[in-house]
Amino acid sequence: MSLINPKNIHRPHSILSLKRKYYLLPITLFIICLVIVFIEYFQTVPYTAQLNLIQTWLRRRKQGAPILTNQSTQLISSSTSSWKQTVVTATTTASYVSLCDRESNNVNMPQNPCEQIRCSVILRSSGGRLGNRMFMYASAYSLARTHNCRLYVNDSIIQELSENFQMKKIDERMWLSEEGYKSLNDVQQKLSFCEFIPDLMRRDAFKHIEIVGYWQSYLYFDAYREEIREIFSANPTVLANVIKYIGTVTRLTCPSCPPLKVATQKELRQSFQTQYNIMWIGIHIRQSDFRDLGYASDDAYVRNAMTYFRRRYYYQKIRFLIASDEKPYYQRTFSKDIRLKKVFLLPRKFTPAEDLTALTLCHHSIVTGGTYSFWSAYLTGGEVIHDTKYRLNCKPSDYFPPWFVLVGTPIGKPSK
């Protein structure tokens, strides 16, 4: 009879112990994962609460419900040491709070809850003529846009500009009423001629500021160029007169072409530039009051600038549109080119706004000096040739955009 070796016997409880190990491992991993998810969830609770708080404030502001200052700060915390404390602070004015959206592109629009008078830009007076007023308004408007401030402009300035331009309607919340203006305290006056003051572009650079002087730096408003162009578009009366004249010009340059059918200045500009296969160069020449100051450009400058464009665009048909404060003189000076329909002198009966609107329809510009010349070129865009005889009281880079080419000597043939 053979004996059985106990070592060769497989005991049932050994097998069971091994199976328990295999089952326990995934269960343990599952529990660990649950604990991690649980911890991460509770760490996000304060931020969720913060978001809910901000959404509640925004909803109450939209509904017009005031929020008291003592409610403007909420501390969200927890007894768990791993949670972070978060302070939500809103901009306050007096006993009210307003959450200001500084990053939005829709500054001062209805969806922006900045409704309190946090800061303001004031324009009460403007010296000079039309070009100076355009500089002052554009600078005031753009400073208000940059800092999300209210804008107050004297009624006489608005009325004069409205007689010439469309003056695009801006959101009512941006305007500061007469009553609101009179309620302001500690208004700071800031004087500028044509120098750019970069400190004014910094965040919270001022509270209430009144701009005085001339503010002839494009750097204040260049970021809003398209808005400025729309604001200074012709009003309906001015536009109708310009459309009538341009219709006459196009019939003379292209008798077989169909007539213009436009309703807006944008449509007129597009048709004028593309429909007749002509490169139009606008020329503004200021003479009468510049002679005694030594700023007046001579005829050689104008003719050389015209030659430059003829050479540069030799493969295209070039025509010139001239506006000046001495139109009879240039009627005689360019009489031959006028007869050949190569130069068109804007009508003597045209107002400054009608001259300006016609010039901005062109592709490129030749200008002499003065703020009116600046605006005719700036609103046109394209290439600009500007005479250096016009002297400034500031750095040229503050006044002239980089695409303005300053010349004081005869212009040679452009390099290829």
In a domain, 102, yes or no: no
Burial class from Cβ neighbours inside 10 Å (0-12, 13-18, 19+) for residue 52 reads: exposed
Q: Supply the pLDDT for residue 275.
A: 87
Is residue 185 within 8 A of residue 104, CB to CB? The reply is no
The rounded distance, in Å, linking the Cα atoms of 227 and 168 is 8
Residue (of 123, 371, 379) closest to 230 by Cα position: 379
Q: Supply the pLDDT for residue 143.
A: 97
> Across 90-162, where does the E strand assignment appear?
91-93, 96-98, 120-123, 150-153
Residue (of 116, 91, 96, 122) closest to 186 by Cα position: 122
In a domain, 107, yes or no: no
Per-residue pLDDT reduced to its tens digit, 105-153: 444 444 444 446 789 999 999 888 999 999 999 999 999 999 999 999 9
Is residue 219 domain-shared with residue 279, that is, in the same domain?
Answer: no
In a domain, 106, yes or no: no
- The packing angle between helices 352-359 and 130-147, to 10°, is 60
- Taking only Cα atoms into account, the Rg of the chain, rounded to an integer number of angstroms, comes to 35
User: What are the φ/ψ torsions at residue 372 (nearest 5 degrees)?
Assistant: -65, -45
Residues 6+ apart with CB under 8 A from 280: 272, 273, 319, 320, 321, 361, 362, 363, 364
User: What are the φ/ψ torsions at residue 92 (nearest 5 degrees)?
Assistant: -115, 145
Is residue 278 domain-shared with residue 400, that is, in the same domain?
Answer: yes
Per-residue pLDDT reduced to its tens digit, 244-274: 999 999 999 988 888 888 989 999 999 999 9
Q: Provide the residue range defining the domain that includes 348.
A: 274-407
Q: Supply the pLDDT for residue 56.
A: 57
The CATH number given to whatever domain includes residue 303 is: 3.40.50.2000
Report the SS3 class of residue 270.
Answer: helix
Is residue 215 domain-shared with residue 299, that is, in the same domain?
Answer: no
In a domain, 97, yes or no: no
The rounded distance, in Å, linking the Cα atoms of 29 and 74 is 39
200-to-51, 141, 143, 221, 384 alpha-carbon distances in Å? 33, 13, 8, 12, 28
Domain count, the chain: 2
In a domain, 321, yes or no: yes
In a domain, 1, yes or no: no
Q: Which of 177, 196, 230 is the last residue of a domain?
A: 230
The rounded distance, in Å, linking the Cα atoms of 349 and 354 is 9
CA dihedral 279, 284, 285, 288 (to 10 degrees): 150
CA 393 to chain centre: 26
The sign of the torsion formed by the CA atoms of 6, 10, 12, 17 equals: positive
Is residue 288 domain-shared with residue 169, that is, in the same domain?
Answer: no
140-to-79, 186, 197, 198, 398 alpha-carbon distances in Å? 51, 18, 13, 15, 17
Each residue's pLDDT, cut to its tens digit, for the chain (416 residues) gives 444 444 444 444 444 455 555 667 777 777 887 777 666 654 544 444 445 545 555 555 555 544 443 343 333 333 333 333 333 333 333 322 333 444 444 444 444 444 467 899 999 998 889 999 999 999 999 999 999 999 999 999 999 999 999 998 777 888 999 999 999 989 999 999 999 999 999 999 999 999 999 999 999 999 999 999 999 999 999 999 999 999 999 999 988 888 888 989 999 999 999 988 999 999 999 998 898 888 899 999 999 999 999 999 999 999 999 999 999 999 999 999 999 999 999 999 999 999 999 999 999 999 999 999 999 999 999 999 999 989 888 999 999 999 999 997 545 544 44
The rounded distance, in Å, linking the Cα atoms of 361 and 354 is 11
Is residue 212 domain-shared with residue 309, that is, in the same domain?
Answer: no
Is residue 278 domain-shared with residue 403, that is, in the same domain?
Answer: yes
The rounded distance, in Å, linking the Cα atoms of 375 and 218 is 10
Is residue 167 domain-shared with residue 288, that is, in the same domain?
Answer: no
At 291, the amino acid letter reads R
CA 306 to chain centre: 32
Is residue 224 domain-shared with residue 333, that is, in the same domain?
Answer: no
The rounded distance, in Å, linking the Cα atoms of 238 and 233 is 9
Per-residue pLDDT reduced to its tens digit, 67-116: 443 343 333 333 333 333 333 333 333 322 333 444 444 444 444 444 46
